Structure 1
Amino acid sequence: MVSIEIGGGHLVQAGWVNLDPVNGTGEWRRPAQDVPWPIGDGGVDAIRAAHVMEHIPAGEPRLAVMNEAHRVLRPGGVFEIRVPNCLSGTWHAWADPTHVSFWCVESFHYFDGVFAANADYGIRPWTTHELRVQGDNEILWKGSPR
C-alpha cells in the first residue's frame, strides 16, 4: 500500500509519496487540488497534510482535495491534517501572504456531518477520530472515510 504526504517539500519521510507541485516526482508533481490523483480507489493507507491545506483555496479546491483523499483511502485509512487555527488569537494563520484559506475547529465539522450546509456541496462524509487544538495555534484533525 501507499502513504501520501501532501505538500511535503523536502521533508518527506521514507516510504511516503510526495504529492507536491515542486518536489513531487512524475505524476505526483502537481497541486493537491489537481484531481484525480494517479492512484486507484482505496489504494492508500494514510495521507498527511502538515501546514499545507491553508495554501489550498477555500471552496471547490478544498473540497476537491478532501473528496479525492476520501476516494483513495482504504477503509480505515486515516487522513491527518494540521493547520493554523484562525480563531486562536495569534497572528499565525493571517500573517503568511500565501495562506488562501482559513481553518477553525468547526471547519472540520462540515466534513464529519456535525454541521451541515443548507445545500449539497458534494462533500463526502468523514468520521473524525481526533480533533484538537495543539499549542497556541495549531489544529490537528484525523479522520477516515465513512
Structure 2
Amino acid sequence: MASIEIGGGTLVQPGWINLDSRNGQGEWARMAQQTPWPTGDNTVDAIRASHVMEHIPAGQERIDVMNEAHRVLKPGGVFEIIVPLLVGTWHAIADPTHISFWCKESFHYFDGLFAANADYGIRLWETLELEVVDGWEGHWKGTPR
C-alpha cells in the first residue's frame, strides 16, 4: 500500500488513498476515528493529516487515530500532522467546526516527553520534526517507536 491522506477532501495527491467520510472510496469512505482502518499492520509508507485533526474530538477519539496510524505504518513510516495551534492568534478557535484544540505541547503526550498520571493506552511515537510556522500552524512529523 502507498500512503494515506486523512480527510483529504478533493485535494488528494495522486497515488494516495483518501481516508475521508465524504470523498473516500469504498471502505475508505469513513471518519478517521472509525477504526480499525481497512489495511493490515505495517502496510503504509506515510500518512498525512493537514488541517483535519482539529476536527476529531480530543480524548479517546484522538488517541484512537494516533494509535491506528501507529499500527498501520511500516517501520520508518512517517505520520505528518498540520494543525492550527492555540498560540496568540484566532486560527484555532474561530472556525466553528474545530472541536479539538492543539498546542505545541499536545504532541509530547504522544512522544512520551509529557505523560498523564494514568495509562490511556497511548502508543508512543518518535518526534522527527516539530515546528510552528507563521506563528500559529503546527507542523509535526513522527514515526512509530
Q: TM-score scaled to structure 1, two decimals?
A: 0.98
Q: Cα RMSD between the aligned structures?
A: 0.5
For structure 2, the residue ranges without an aligned partner over 5 or more in a row are: none
Q: Report the alpha carbon displacement of residue 84 of structure 1 after superposing the two structures with TM.
A: 0.2
Q: Deviations over 1:11-58 (max 9, x none)?
A: 001000000000000000000000000000000000000000000000
After superposition, give the CA deviation of every residue in 1:44-91 in whole Å (9 maximum; x if it has no partner): 0000000000000000110010000000000000000000011x2110
Please name the residue that 1:65 is paired with.
65
Q: How does 1:22-41 map onto structure 2 within 5 Å? A: 22-41=22-41
Distance in 2 between the 1:16 and 1:136 partners? 29
Detail structure 1 runs of 4+ shifted over 4 Å in the superposition: none
Q: Establish whether residue 143 from structure 1 lines up as the match of residue 142 from structure 2.
A: yes
Question: How far apart are residue 136 of structure 1 and its match?
Answer: 2.3
**Mapping 1:1-146, distance limit 5 Å:** 1-86=1-86, 88-146=87-145
Identity %: 73
Q: What is the alpha-carbon distance in structure 2 between the residues aligned to residue 136 and residue 96 of structure 1? A: 17
Instruction: Figure out how many residues of one structure are paired with residues of the other and give that number.
Output: 145
TM-score by length of 2: 0.99
